[in-house]
Chains A and B, each alone.
Chain A
Amino acid sequence: MATDVATTSLNLDHRKLAMWTFLGSEFLLFGALVASYLLYLDTTAGGPGVEIYDIPFTSISSFVLLMSSLTMVLAHHAHTKGDMRRMRLWILATVGQGAVFLGGQVFEFNVFVREGLTLGTSPFSSAFYVTTGFHGLHVFVGILLLSSLYVLSLTGKVKPSQHVKTEIIGLYWHFVDIVWVIIFTVVYLIPEIAALD
């Protein structure tokens, strides 16, 4: 029976419960990364520090990622209504915004490396690249998941009734966005403003 397969004894969808458990554990990963970054903030070993950040540029990519959460939730909403054409359109918009964010991160890393901030420059640079790089990796995985969902819905493997699949990938995407909300403030803005004072 479908209900037996899809639900747990808590009367919750087991796939959604599994995704939430995974996301809860992901907070620990990013918590550790952000904690390391904060603890190594002043250990620049004579290399560039937080003054290297381009806040206006990062603000724009942060805004793009934030808005991708809107297109993602609209894709899920369209799927719940069985409107697969619109769902695919919003998925494409989300993928596009994710790609813009990722492209911005690659560009930013290139600029930083040219200015002397490499992975091995200092404990600060290592913590910065590992924290933001892991987040970028999550965005990349999200883009792969969304692209798979797009293709599977085109080929009819994801049906209008299976909107939990879009919801679960959406949860992952929103998580990626929510982590960036924290990273943008704690990794970029607060240290930069503290350095300016």
Chain B
Amino acid sequence: MTSTDAPDQTGSTGHAHPTPKQYVNIAIVLAILTALEVSTYFLDFGVIAIPLLVVLMVVKFLYVAGWFMHLKFDSPIYSRLMYTGLAFALVLYAIMAIVTLFDHAPMI
């Protein structure tokens, strides 16, 4: 039997995936969070605008990854793979930011 003919293996831990109703509820939450994000453009949130946007972005990220990508229910190895890539991306940004900072630093 070839790989193409083989029945699919879930590779999961024998969990039950969410129901369509739960998926719709998550989508409604994501829509509300997006509306809140966009409202920061139209309304003056003052100094909390940018921290609020970052928090909303992280919450939306976690909802999509956890529920729609099933990381909440699947093997933790998948989560580790994704968060390792994400951590490397943040380290890369930090290195570039530091290098740029020194590039623009006044010479003594």
Contact = CB atoms under 8 A, between A and B. Distances in A.
Contacts of A20: 77-78, 81-82
| Interface magnitude class on chain A | 35 or more
A38 interface: yes
Q: Is the interface of B mostly helix, strand, loop or mixed?
A: helix
Q: Interface residues of B toward A: which range?
A: 35 or more
B73 to A, nearest CB: 12
A120 B71 CA distance: 40
Interface residues of chain A: helix, strand, loop or mixed (majority): helix
A36 B93 CA distance: 8
B54 to A, nearest CB: 7
A35 B1 contact: no
B85 A25 contact: yes
Contacts of A25: 85
Contact of B11 (A17, A62, A67, A170): A17
B9 A27 contact: no
Interface of B: 1-3, 5-11, 17, 20, 23-24, 26-27, 30-31, 34, 37-38, 40-41, 49-50, 53-54, 56-57, 60-61, 64-65, 67-70, 75, 77-78, 81-82, 84-86, 88-90, 92-93, 96-97, 100
